[in-house]
Amino acid sequence: MGMYCRNIPDIGNTKKPFDLSVNYKGKWWAFELKIDKSKSDPTPDRIYKKLYPHQVANLREFKSWKSQWISKVFAYHGCTNSVWIYDIINENDQFSLEFITNFDRDSDILEREMELIF
């Protein structure tokens, strides 16, 4: 299918760079997966605060101008059973997340959105 996907497991105190690495048709993707249990919808700031500094650094480096690879943060919102997708943004060396889209986890939209991303 032209795709390689690798889960990066937790190993003791090792600080893994992000959760998932994917190569699709020669383009590398980095995904960090977060869970949000709040009652209100996830906000970019709240999800960003869930990232560890080394994860921000690795996601940033992964999509640097040299590589042009892609980094995304996925947040599962337990109260609404929905998935929220964010892009990591660097403006004047200040990093933040930018909302891309959200959808119900059980709908077929998830499959269509993933096809658009890839």
Alpha-carbon distance of 100 to 114, in angstroms, equals 12
| Structural domains of the chain, ranges and CATH numbers in brackets | 3-117 (3.40.1350.10)
3-class SS at 96? strand
Per DSSP, helices labelled H in the chain are: 44-49, 53-62, 109-117
Alpha-carbon distance of 99 to 46, in angstroms, equals 12
The overall pTM is greater than 0.85: no
Edge-to-edge strand order for the sheet containing 27-36? 3-7, 20-24, 27-36, 70-77, 82-91, 94-104
3-class SS at 21? strand
Q: What is the pLDDT along the chain (118 residues), one digit of tens a residue?
A: 566 677 776 666 667 788 888 887 778 888 899 999 999 999 999 999 999 888 888 888 888 766 678 889 999 998 998 999 999 888 877 889 999 988 887 777 656 655 655 5
Tokens standing for residue 21: 């690495």
